[in-house]
Amino acid sequence: MTDNCEVRIVIRPPAHPGDKGYIGAGSSYDPLPGETHRRGNDLADGPANMATLCRIMNDIAALLDGYRNAYERDSAPVASDLPVEASQHPQPNRSH
């Protein structure tokens, strides 16, 4: 991802009773070195409600951490998921 990122949010309020409306978002980035086109990703979308808006905000928070969206951030391995060499395992204290 490049330093400059744009997020666009589209909101279509409910038009009539029973219509859920729509909120969606997408991100785009400046071209990487040697490229001439912008890259982009879809962010969360769904009915026009607070739950969807919260999912979009979670995706934006992930962008700030350098991920494409919250799913990618939350799926990334953490140190505790990585294999550990036997020499890195703490040895029990057997001096008792």
Q: Where are the domains of the chain?
A: 5-75
pTM: 0.72
The model's pLDDT over 22-57, given as tens digits with 9 standing for 90+, comes to 999 999 988 888 888 888 899 999 999 999 999 999
Alpha helices (runs of H) in 1-96, residue ranges in sequence order: 50-64, 70-75
The model's pLDDT over 55-90, given as tens digits with 9 standing for 90+, comes to 999 999 999 888 888 998 898 877 666 665 655 555
